[in-house]
Amino acid sequence: MKKSEERGPIGDMYEEILKDLGENPGREGLVRTPLRAEKALKFLTSGYQRDIHQIVNNALFAAENDDMVLVKDIEFYSLCEHHMLPFFGKVHVGYLPNEKIIGLSKIPRIVDAFARRLQVQERLTQQIAETLMEILEPRGVAVVSEAQHFCMMMRGVEKQSSSTITSAMLGEFRNNKASKDEFLALMRTNLR
């Protein structure tokens, strides 16, 4: 292995896991698996190293109106903190500006920062909403997440067609039925 490809302690632990499973980590197909698994795990949990303020990077701009902004179908991939198995899906984010808007690409980056951690879907949804509320100080934030969980598909109840939907409604989306209804209608609309 090249010096830059030396595995660390996580890779060493993966080698031990392979042995505990009854595998031979020295066989051709597994020689580099501990290193690859370590790199994959570090990438899948890279959200712990992300700073939300660096992600936003002052990409806040004066709002010229106060109409709803909605970014839908943001794909995400995460790891369930209970079994360390993947769950994945889409997040839909809406907010009602109050003097400022955020660069649109920042919203998916914020989603990724929280998704790339050991997570539960309920917390992921809430963290995205609370973070946007804090950064933008909008009149309201709405987040809906739809996901499929491998911990339900590959093990346990083994239900491949099930999905989970979670939501977080803050500010006007919690208190104003018209705003909430508009968000839900726009979220379901396919304008393409």
Q: Cα Rg for the chain, rounded, in angstroms?
A: 20
User: What is the token pair recorded at 170?
Assistant: 């803050």
Measured CA to CA in angstroms, residue 136 lies from 21, 60, 94, 98 at distances of 49, 8, 12, 8
Q: Which of the residues 5, 75, 81, 99 is marked catalytic?
A: 81
149 is catalytic: yes
The domain spans of the chain are: 3-44, 53-188
pLDDT of residue 150: 87
53 is catalytic: no
Considering the entire predicted model, what is its pTM? Answer: 0.92
160 is catalytic: no
Judged by DSSP in three states, 157 sits in coil
Q: Does the domain spanning 53-188 belong to CATH 3.30.1130.10? A: yes
99 is catalytic: no
Q: Tens-digit pLDDT profile for the chain (192 aa)?
A: 555 578 999 999 999 999 999 999 999 999 999 999 999 999 999 999 999 999 999 999 999 999 999 999 999 999 999 999 999 999 999 999 999 999 999 999 999 999 999 999 999 999 999 999 999 999 999 999 999 998 888 888 888 888 999 999 999 999 999 999 999 999 998 876
146 is catalytic: no
148 is catalytic: no
The CATH number fitting domain 3-44, selected from 2.60.120, 3.40.50, 2.60.40, 1.10.286: 1.10.286
CA angle, 69 as apex, 163 and 190 as ends, to 5°? 50
Judged by DSSP in three states, 176 sits in coil
